[in-house]
Structure formats: C-alpha cells, structure tokens
Amino acid sequence: MAKTRVTPLTTYYDPNQLRDAQEHYEYARAMGCLTWGTWDHGIRSFAQRVEDFVRTFPPVDPVRFSPGGSLIRQQDGTFAPGSAGSRLDRFLRQDCSPGSIHELLARHGLKLNDGPAYRDMSFAAASFRDSARRRNHRLRVLHGGVDIEPADMDAAKADFLDKQEAARAAQDVREAVKRMNEELEKHRGEGDG
C-alpha cells in the first residue's frame, strides 16, 4: 500500500500573535467591527474579534472570501479585477495600506506583535466642490468615462446657460411668428367672406 504524502499548508499569519490594539478602536468602531451593533457602546471581547478576523481571513487562505479584490491597471490603461495572487500580495504588505493584514486587523481593533507602528492619520476635509471634483475625476478614471470636466467650471456653466437662453429665445420667436401667421390667415379668411 502506497503512502500518500501530505504537504503542509502554508499559514500566512499566526492567530496566536494577534493582540488587542486600543489605538485602533476608533477606526474599528467606524468600520462596525468593535461593537455588536451601530448604537451599542459596549466593546466586543478580544476573543470574539479574533475569532471574527480568523474566520473572515483564514490563516491558510486569507483571500478566499475576497473574490474581487483590488483593481489592477492593465496595459491599455483600464482597470480589471486582480487575481488571487495580487490579492494575496496586497494582504501580505507590511504597511497599513488598504487591504493589508495590518489595516484589516486595525478594522477589528487588533494588531500583530511584529506589525508596523501605529500612525495617527489626520484628515482635513476639502471644500465640497473640490471633494466632488476629485471624486468625479477618480470615477472617470476608474470607469473610463468620456466626459471631461472643463478647467473653468463657472465659465462652462455660464456658456451653457447662454446657449439655453438663446435656444429658448429662438423658440419664443418661432411661436410668435406662427401665431402671427395664424392671425393673418384668420383675418384674410374673414376679409374674403
């Protein structure tokens, strides 16, 4: 009888190396992983958060449940879903970039013993207009949109309104000429009778 050789499975992280990270609590609360519900103020236990993380990102195949993953830029400039290999590379990054193990752990209020140091990232909100412009540009890049936002939006809006007013004025003139012709025909018809 031949023996079958079992290859050992590669584990990408050790769940026993996970630690509670109070510095990530606010981030975890914002992501919805620190508490049981939106309005719940009680923090889930460390063991529950570890179990949740390990079930979501199994140590043997951490990208099993993330089929789409990040988008990868293609040679023609478009984006396509990444492969399992690119998702695993992203997961194994040793920084706190989105999708890395350290960022995903922070979502649960956890960290690895040998993880990168915590960096407090401040956020300065731009004006609504600038935020919308940046978002629209990123959406166009992502989805390959053909509409290009003009450099001077105010001038473009003024030009658009001028064109609308000219079109409306032309329509009003056509309607006035039509009414005038109808009245002339009506008066000619009365004069013939």
Q: State the total domains in the chain.
A: 2
Verify that 107 and 163 share a domain, yes or no.
no
Verify that 90 and 154 share a domain, yes or no.
no
Domain-embedded: residue 121: no
Verify that 32 and 97 share a domain, yes or no.
yes
Verify that 162 and 108 share a domain, yes or no.
no
Domain-embedded: residue 173: yes
Helices in 40-108 by DSSP H: which ranges?
46-56, 84-91, 101-107
CA distances from 62 to 55, 87, 141, 145 (A): 9, 9, 29, 34
The predicted structure's pLDDT at residue 87? 86
Averaged over 27-53, what is the pLDDT?
A: 89
Verify that 161 and 103 share a domain, yes or no.
no
Beta carbons of 91 and 101 less than 8 angstroms apart? yes
Please name which of 81, 56, 57, 53 lies closest in space to residue 67, comparing C-alpha atoms.
81
Verify that 100 and 162 share a domain, yes or no.
no
Task: Report the alpha-carbon distance of residue 134 to residue 156 in Å, rounded.
Answer: 18
Structural domain boundaries, residue 183:
150-193
The predicted structure's pLDDT at residue 133? 83
The predicted structure's pLDDT at residue 50? 95
Q: Find the helix or strand (DSSP H, E) in which 187 lies.
A: helix 153-192
Verify that 104 and 46 share a domain, yes or no.
yes
Please name which of 108, 110, 109, 89 lies closest in space to residue 100, comparing C-alpha atoms.
89
Verify that 19 and 73 share a domain, yes or no.
yes
Verify that 167 and 107 share a domain, yes or no.
no
Domain-embedded: residue 144: no
Q: Find the helix or strand (DSSP H, E) in which 111 lies.
A: strand 110-112
Domain-embedded: residue 158: yes
Verify that 81 and 155 share a domain, yes or no.
no
Averaged over 14-32, what is the pLDDT?
A: 91
The predicted structure's pLDDT at residue 104? 92
The predicted structure's pLDDT at residue 187? 85
Tens-digit pLDDT profile for residues 51-99: 999 999 999 989 888 766 677 778 887 777 778 888 888 889 888 888 8
Domain-embedded: residue 23: yes
Task: Report the alpha-carbon distance of residue 70 to residue 72 in Å, rounded.
Answer: 6
Q: Is the pLDDT of residue 6 over 60?
A: no
Verify that 94 and 159 share a domain, yes or no.
no
Domain-embedded: residue 135: no
Q: Specify the amino acid at residue 116.
A: P
Domain-embedded: residue 49: yes
Q: Tell how strand 18-20 and strand 110-112 pair up.
A: antiparallel
Q: Find the helix or strand (DSSP H, E) in which 138 lies.
A: helix 128-143
Q: Specify the amino acid at residue 150.
A: P
Task: Report the alpha-carbon distance of residue 56 to residue 102 in Å, rounded.
Answer: 14
The predicted structure's pLDDT at residue 160? 87
Domain-embedded: residue 7: no
The predicted structure's pLDDT at residue 152? 78
Q: Is the pLDDT of residue 148 over 70?
A: no
Task: pLDDT band for 9, please (50, 70, 90 cuts).
Answer: confident
Verify that 100 and 46 share a domain, yes or no.
yes
